[in-house]
């Protein structure tokens, strides 16, 4: 499937993760409010769970927004002479420790 490749349909992927993040945020808000009122331990665990889910979804959205459309970044680096020349200069530079 074409959508599984990096650089393909990145706005769609970011949108799906954004929607899941919004759902996780709603669940987090509900569970946090319920925990404050009722102090039930399962609600506290839900708050932790949905916090983690929200953090993961935000990370996925940031990743998909940073990947340029049109192919993987490694493919573009190999095709772009300016990137290849810069990379070879960086790789041959002596390391200072």
Q: What are the sequence ranges of the domains in the chain?
A: 7-92
- Residue 89 is predicted with a pLDDT of 44
* Total Cβ atoms within 10 A of residue 54: 19
- Residue 71 is predicted with a pLDDT of 52
- Residue 54 makes CB contacts below 8 A (sequence gap 6+) with 21, 24, 25, 28
CA distance 9 to 91: 32
Q: Which two tokens stand for residue 1?
A: 């499937």
- Residue 54 is predicted with a pLDDT of 98
Q: What is the dihedral of CA 3, 5, 9, 11, to 10 degrees?
A: 130
CA distance 7 to 70: 5
- Residue 79 is predicted with a pLDDT of 40
CA distance 88 to 76: 15
- Residue 90 is predicted with a pLDDT of 46
- Residue 50 is predicted with a pLDDT of 98
CA distance 91 to 77: 14
Per-residue pLDDT 10s for the chain (97 aa) are 999 999 999 999 999 999 999 999 999 999 999 999 999 999 999 999 999 999 999 999 999 999 987 654 444 433 444 444 444 444 444 544 4
């Amino acid at each position: 499937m074409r959508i599984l490749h990096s650089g393909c349909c990145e706005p769609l992927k970011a949108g799906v993760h954004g929607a899941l993040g919004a759902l996780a945020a709603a669940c987090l808000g509900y569970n946090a409010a319920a925990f404050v009122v009722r102090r039930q331990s399962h609600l506290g665990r839900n708050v932790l769970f949905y916090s983690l889910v929200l953090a993961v979804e935000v990370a996925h959205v940031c990743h998909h927004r940073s990947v340029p459309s049109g192919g993987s970044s490694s493919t573009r680096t190999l095709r772009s002479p300016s990137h290849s020349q810069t990379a070879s200069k960086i790789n041959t530079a002596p390391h200072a420790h």
